[in-house]
Structure 1
Amino acid sequence: MPPRHFLTLADIDAETLETLLRRAAELRALHHDGSLHEPLRGRVLGMIFEKSSTRTRVSFEAGMAQLGGSALFLSPRDTQLGRGEPIEDTARVLSGMVDAVMIRTFDHSTVERFAGASRVPVINGLTDDHHPCQLLADLQTWQAHRGELQGRTVAWMGDGNNMCRSWMQAAEMMDFRLAIGAPSAYAPEDLADYPNSRHETDPQAAVEGADLVVTDVWASMGMEDERQTRLEDFAAYQVNEALMAAAGEQALFMHCLPAHRGEEVTADVIDGPRSVVWEEAENRLHAQKALLEWLVTPRR
């Protein structure tokens, strides 16, 4: 039986997504109760990082430990990928030694090629095109505060990047509306493929009626040379108290972190009462434990 992979949200159906979100909430409750739950005892997760991270590494490594397994951290210096070994060769070798592989890299084709040659599940820990693990945590957090997602409205403020694209996929799967507030030059090129998503150049129009406002850094890793241009282009899309007021009193705020206070979000918003950012960050741990449990344990 071929392995299941999680490279984008489109690799699962809406029913499986709901199952993972329910399980993530259960695992969070078990963890807070101090209950021991170790279904992955003896299992090993290989973690390949070509992009550095705090939350991705700690959440996957801690998650495997809490599930009774272990995780191996591999940087480009620690694998033959850094010396030019074909991706497929590395996949064949590692999948004979570990039970799953998580990859955080730049080019999305890297995880696709790796998964194509792997005998064990492959998880996308982030690529330039998608960040599905973050969406699991975001959706888990949103459900905890607002319940049913169907028919709700999310406002994405900023670049039509990997996070935005994963939100676009989620909107189709969970049947909610996504308004993308961004300058025209930064709108997702494939927006027409996602009928539940729309683009707004007016930031006020993007957040109007939103149940949730989400943003990300304006210049991601690898875009350092564009930083100043992006600061100028996105200045009107900063999530501040005025923008949150336009969204409405009940709107929550999320950010996948790291955050640059004073740029894409002001301190009074991210540290304020409507921010669920810290719960969102913790839920990376629990959502990924649900994912690992689903991917690695034997199918019934």
Structure 2
Amino acid sequence: MHFQGKSFLKISDFNKKEVEYLIDFAIHLKQLKKNNISHTYLKGQNIALLFEKSSTRTRAAFTVAANDLGAAPEFLGSGDIQLGKKESVSDTAKILGSMFDGLEFRGASQAVVEELAAHAGVPVWNGLTDDWHPTQMIGDFMTIKEEFSTFNGVKLVYSGDGRNNVANSLLVTAALLGADVTIAAPESLFPEESYVSLAKEYAKESGSTVEITSDVKSAVKDANVIYTDVWVSMGEEEHFEERVNTLLPYQVNKALLADVSEKFIFMHCLPAFHDTNTVYGKNVAEEFGIEEMEVTSEVFEADYARQFEQGENRMHSIKAIMAATNGNLFIPDLQ
């Protein structure tokens, strides 16, 4: 029972073969879903979804995944949980672990999700912290595998804010799986050294390359995947103007894509600010005169854009993670 009872808190919790297994299992579960074949590996279980930070995709994906697996999900929002406020994280973990069969946590602190996992006695899955976004990675690399059927020789370039949870996670996951990875970001937004050195260690084993550069024009040459994310992460709104000015050269637009590989896809973990059809987008347009931020609508709506497949794949991959760690499946030793 190789995965059984394990938590999924960051990508480096699992080795290369284990991560590949989760990706392949997610692709398999997607086929079952499309063919209406039942896969209730968590029948009779109860799953708690703890959301200190709000979410569309992660919440929807965990809820549908739990239901498809035969489990009952219970959503507990920031108004329902008292983590560290009225009740310590360890006390909360012990209580919820005694009632539920698994816990998802989405919030700011990686330390909180680690502490939940240490005390819950049931698997804990990280739905996003400020440091890592591991469930996003299984869905993202699932999308890349569906497209290219391998990671070897695939060049992934992330353009934008290089020190957020998505950039950290992409850097480490790509290096682990053997894809070549470049983070193109302004020097002030380079990823922290700890993530870069971890990625380089993995790259040595997998034979991939890791590059951190501020020269986005040369970075994107021959890219197979260009990935971007919002310029201002949750809770950083006061840095808005400075961030917009710093990151405008890293906008993914038609001009930037002039020299990408013939086999090319665009990816975005969403939400994306590619137009003014949101209150947020309207405010930015009024205040800064910018109608498109990290990606232009022309790119976002192109036939090589995969952000919606990627979004759907969040659900299949989260299902794979929950089933593998809590479904009593036979999984060979993947060392």
- TM-score clears 0.5: yes
Match of 1:272 in 2: 302
Alignment map for 1:115-194 (pairs within 5 Å): 115-160=117-162, 161-190=164-193, 191-194=196-199
Contact 2:266 2:304 in 1 (8 A): yes
Q: Distance in 2 between matches of 1:193 and 1:43?
A: 36
Moved more, 26-35 or 128-137: 26-35
Match of 2:244 in 1: 231
What is the deviation of 1:81?
A: 2.2
Match of 1:51 in 2: 53
What is the deviation of 1:41?
A: 1.0
What TM-score, normalized to structure 1?
A: 0.97
Q: Distance in 2 between matches of 1:292 and 1:64?
A: 8
What is the deviation of 1:105?
A: 0.4
RMSD over aligned CA atoms reads: 1.4
What is the deviation of 1:82?
A: 6.7
What TM-score, normalized to structure 2?
A: 0.87
Letter of the aligned partner of 1:86 in structure 2? S
Distance 1:80-1:192 versus aligned 2 partners, 3 A rule: closer
> Structure with the greater relative contact order (CA < 8 A, sep ≥ 6): 1 or 2?
2
Show CA shifts across 1:231-268 (max 9, x none): 10000000011112222332110000000001000001
Contact 1:38 1:67 in 2 (8 A): yes
SS in 1 for 2:18: helix
Contact 2:172 2:198 in 1 (8 A): no
Letter of the aligned partner of 1:91 in structure 2? A
Match of 2:264 in 1: 251
Q: Distance in 2 between matches of 1:76 and 1:171?
A: 32
Alignment map for 1:70-89 (pairs within 5 Å): 70-81=72-83, 83-89=85-91
Contact 1:76 1:82 in 2 (8 A): no
Show CA shifts across 1:204-248 (max 9, x none): 111111110000000011011011110100000000111122223
Contact 1:239 1:264 in 2 (8 A): yes
Runs (4+) off by over 6 Å: none
SS in 2 for 1:47: strand
Moved more, 32-41 or 47-56: 32-41
SS in 2 for 1:194: helix
Q: Which of residues 322, 325, 329 in structure 2 aligns to 1:295?
A: 325
Match of 2:205 in 1: none
Q: Distance in 2 between matches of 1:78 and 1:4?
A: 26
Show CA shifts across 1:4-44 (max 9, x none): 11001111111111111111111111111122221111111
Residue ranges of structure 1 left out of the alignment (5+ in a row): none
What is the deviation of 1:3?
A: 3.2
Letter of the aligned partner of 1:107 in structure 2? S
Count of residues paired in the alignment: 300
Residue ranges of structure 2 left out of the alignment (5+ in a row): 201-208, 275-291, 331-335
